[in-house]
A and B are shown apart, each in its own frame.
Chain A
């Protein structure tokens, strides 16, 4: 099958600037939309999947609180008992990787005279937490010291609090539990829920929450031990009323909780994308319908229907590709990294390679499907009738 030159497809783009603009805008918007939806879902997935966890952590929490660490209450002694009872936990420099923690949401104010209540995700920790959660990296300042009303904030905690990022710079303060707390450090834990949290010494948080003798959970890092070892420990200590759950499994179950939201986003994006597709179909149909006589001429000259469909598809896909690239560039510039708040914390819209490929494929699909149907419709007309078209 001899092909029509691509030059013909390319030059046809210049026939109507309005149509060209509509086509570019259509495919660009579809790509931007798919990028936003896919980036949103991807960011949420990455955050909740905790994929960057380097070590296999197991969370020990209160029985019956499997769905929410914040609701969990276990005795403060569990950390010491676990460290002594479970063989094969990771150790470094004489420190066993056992991190007692309190997870809670607390009302926070920017200052004493601030009227707006902000809900912060707080995590009370000991220094060992930085070993157990190895993805946490202090990027500015230092860890907070116990008894000095100090804390450190995650990379996107400002989004969670609805404050400007510079408002949480080292040296600034936050107000809660009737006093100012100084920010002495900033940490980064990309693609984890911790990135949206505020960390402070566990003893300070115990006082602030009036739960001196209890913890939310104990997180341990396995070395030669397996999950089963921790699980047996939890099940054998009926007096402690605890259960063990893999950290990844815990966040996976949280991710499952948010599945309806993801489905809703996908459906909304799909509906709008279908709207874009129908717009593309309409634009291309108008473009091809105006060229029915020309299509008849090409057939008269000896070009096959296949060659003509291919050329019309090239024209449509080329336009869509240009729009898609523009949309993708805008998405990368303006969407990537935008932090989104949700009940557990915050996560960032992630425009990575899979998301970008999905969005670009969506844009090209608009061009492809947008051309095939109108081209087929034009070509169904007998040549003699096509040559009479105005």
Chain B
């Protein structure tokens, strides 16, 4: 059974008299434990698709069923509660809260769950350990490098043990060694912990870490293939 099932997914924006349609009736199935990369030029609809599956945007038409729940039917507050349990989001610009330490940033999603302080702290420590940044737990974001900040962001995304991890250009703001480092970490999380990961990237090398790569253009899928052939395909 598929973990994610999107049917006839459409997203439209209205600007004055113009209708912009970044996503135009796509269907998508993602299996549990799959590592899927979404590629395409700017404005192709890849981030829109990611945001819809993550439940931070609502489609104009179509359905999104994640683990048996049609999230398009959830109210705003129920959707927020659903996100807190099922989605771990990794951003290009990390989005760590500057006034909180690395530990507190990672702990933040757990405050939404009914956990004892001891359990919360243990899970936060484990998440930081898993991304190899436990020794920076007391550091504030300004005291960390970009790569370290992204590791903390990944720890924050996995700390709730979410159903899916969505990552929007997670290496877009990093140099190559740091980017490889982050991608190796995400690959390890996928392979060892069987986490389902949806990744948006412009970079074929980054997409090469995924099991499957979907190319979008003008809101539609133009290819859906294994990564071996991605590096050679035109961007």
Contact = CB atoms under 8 A, between A and B. Distances in A.
A191 B56 CA distance: 63
Given A302-B81, A303-B112, A11 B54 contact: no
Interface string B98-128: 1110001000110110000000000000000
Given A8-B99, A12-B99, A299-B80, 7 more contacts: A2-B111, A301-B112, A301-B156, A302-B81, A304-B80, A305-B76, A383-B51
B112 A299 contact: no
B77 interface: yes
Contact of B97 (A8, A302, A382): A8
Interface stretch (B83-91, B129-137, B211-219, B224-232): B83-91
Interface of B: 51, 54, 56-57, 76-77, 80-85, 87, 89, 91, 95, 97-100, 104, 108-109, 111-112, 156
Given A2-B111, A301-B112, A303-B112, A383 B100 contact: no
A17 interface: no
Interface string A268-312: 000000000000000000000000011001111111110000000
B160 to A, nearest CB: 9
Contact of B84 (A4, A8, A302, A384): A302
B102 to A, nearest CB: 14
Given A302-B80, A304-B80, A297 B112 contact: no
A94 interface: no
Main secondary structure of the interface of A (DSSP, over half): helix
Interface in A376-390: 382-384, 387
A15 B95 contact: no
User: Size band of the A side of the interface?
Assistant: 20 to 34
B108 A299 contact: no
Contact of B100 (A8, A301, A384): A8
A14 interface: yes
Given A8-B97, A11-B100, A387-B91, A300 B111 contact: no
A310 to B, nearest CB: 13
A297 B57 contact: no
A365 to B, nearest CB: 26
Interface string A360-383: 000000000000000000000011
B23 to A, nearest CB: 12
Nearest to A382: B57
Contacts of B104: 7
Contacts of B80: 299, 302-304
Nearest to A3: B111
A302 B109 contact: yes
A5 interface: yes
Contact of A297 (B76, B84, B87, B95): B95
A294 B95 CA distance: 7
Interface in A8-22: 8, 11-12, 14-15
A382 B76 CA distance: 12
B109 A383 contact: no
Nearest to B108: A301
Given A300-B83, A301-B84, A15 B99 contact: yes
Contacts of B57: 382-384
Q: Which of A11, A293, A302, A304 has the most CB of B within 10 A?
A: A302
Contacts of A2: 111-112
Contact of B77 (A5, A11, A304): A304
Contacts of B109: 301-302
A293 B95 contact: yes
A294 B108 contact: no
A290 to B, nearest CB: 11
A346 to B, nearest CB: 52
Given A8-B97, A14-B99, A300 B112 contact: no
Contacts of B51: 383-384
Contacts of B98: 15
A14 B84 CA distance: 28
A188 B10 CA distance: 83
Contacts of A384: 51, 56-57
A6 to B, nearest CB: 12
Contact of B83 (A12, A294, A302, A387): A302
